[in-house]
Chain A
Amino acid sequence: MTSLETHLTEDERQSFADDTMSPEQRASAEAHLAACRSCADDVARLTTLMTRIRETPAPSPTVALDDLWPTIRARIEQSKVVSLPADAPAVRRLSPRVWWFGSIGGVAAAVLIGMAVMRGRPTGPGDAVGPGTTPNAGEPSLIAVVDSAHAYEQEARILLDKLELRRAMLRPETAEALAHDLHVVDVAIAELKEAVARDPNNPALRRLLATSYRQKVDLLKRVSNAS
């Protein structure tokens, strides 16, 4: 390995400093370091670095990590597998009142429904709350599902805007498939929004709506992947 005429190799210096040398090699290296000032200084600097690494505390974030939890929770709720809670409220029978909307497509119906359900709530566009009623504020899972549906709705809008820029590039069959699938999903969303407007505290309905939004976002992302 070494002698006084040759110095420790880089491998030997580093291994000595981070204490990964075998006992035999270490004994030989120590003998060299006792006699070689240059190697000893270098190893000392490396060892100081090792100590500094061990003693340096972990970096702290500039903003509290608690602030990240709501976003994490919303992403989890988007893909969450849940069971009905044991004390799930009974599903209300559909009101005999029937809400009629113009038959100009699912999008127009959704817009009208969205306007109708927002009448009862002064703030929060996208909160699907029926007039005169509010979701049970004490039910965290319900709130979380409302949050995730709202987040998906926003994401879908952004993706639709981006899609408009790419429509001209789509092959006709792809554009047709997309239009068909979007229509299927939008009809489902419109029906669910209508049902949620009638029964806003129904967690099953809320989750169905969040799932439909998720499927819409997934569909729009698939088209983005195509280009």
Chain B
Amino acid sequence: MSARVHGSTDVIATTDDAGGIDDVVRRAQRGDVEAFESLYRTHAAAIYALCRRMTGDEGESRDLVQDVFVRAWERLTSFRGQSSLGTWLHRLGVNVVLERIRSTKRDAARLIEGDDSTFGSHSSAPAIDASIDLDAALVHLPRGARTVFVLHDIEGYSHDEIALMTGIAAGTARAQLWRARRALMRMLDP
């Protein structure tokens, strides 16, 4: 076995991307953790906001932020630059949160459709201080309705996209959304 040095042996980067992948992402895809850290610092706040609104819980949101970015690291090579990285991360984040919701035994069999049957009736929503803000009110929504509301009205997904992500029918998603809006109206403007 020869011990002579022969030229440069730098790793050649992945080159099968579309024109939309910037250098930092490319380096992260190649295993550069420092590059990935800079992506984390850019996008962590948005992912946290998504998790916080979908779960209503600070502690769970922090756990989910970690899960999202660990999953993003694992799947980064599948990002081809056809959307922005933020959009890609966002979609991945929604999937991670929905998986967490499904894995909770109590809610597994009633992810969206099985919300409390009294939810939505005018007598069921608690009277809340008029000064409550939107995020505080979201916490009081049943999980399924909160999920649909956040995905549609805050994150901008369509009913069809929500149906695909959550596995519920688009019509059911619409009904849940309306009930969520009505409940929020009662809480925010009693």
Contact = CB atoms under 8 A, between A and B. Distances in A.
Do A and B touch (CB < 8 Å)? yes
A48 interface: yes
Contacts of B91: none
Contact of B49 (A45, A58, A71, A86): A58
A72 B66 contact: yes
Given A52-B188, A71-B66, A14 B33 contact: no
B165 interface: no
Given A56-B133, A58-B49, A61-B61, A66 B41 contact: yes
A72 B40 contact: yes
A77 B69 CA distance: 13
Interface in A139-157: 140-141, 144
A52 B41 CA distance: 28
Given A48-B189, A73-B37, A61 B48 contact: yes
A114 to B, nearest CB: 27
A45 B185 contact: yes
Interface in B140-190: 153-154, 174, 177-178, 181, 184-185, 188-189
Interface string A111-133: 00000000000000000000000
Interface residues of A, number: 37
A99 interface: no
B33 A77 contact: yes
B18 interface: no
B19 to A, nearest CB: 26
A12 to B, nearest CB: 11
A75 interface: yes
Nearest to A53: B153
A11 B134 CA distance: 23
A11 B159 CA distance: 13
Contacts of A18: 153
A66 B49 CA distance: 15
Contacts of A11: 174
Contact of A46 (B53, B74, B135, B185): B185
A63 B66 CA distance: 14
B99 interface: no
Chain B interface helix/strand/loop/mixed? helix
Contacts of A65: 44-45, 48, 65
Contacts of B37: 69, 73
Contacts of A72: 40, 66, 69-70
Nearest to B136: A59
Interface string B8-29: 0111000000000000000000
A10 interface: yes
A45 B36 contact: no
B78 to A, nearest CB: 15
Given A65-B65, A72-B66, A86-B9, A59 B49 contact: yes
12 contacts: A46-B181, A46-B185, A49-B185, A58-B46, A59-B53, A61-B52, A65-B48, A66-B41, A68-B44, A68-B65, A82-B31, A141-B33
Interface of B: 9-11, 31, 33-34, 36-37, 40-41, 44-46, 48-49, 52-53, 58, 61-62, 65-66, 69-70, 73-74, 133-135, 153-154, 174, 177-178, 181, 184-185, 188-189
Interface of A: 10-11, 14, 18, 45-46, 48-50, 52-53, 56, 58-63, 65-66, 68-69, 71-73, 75-77, 79-83, 86, 140-141, 144
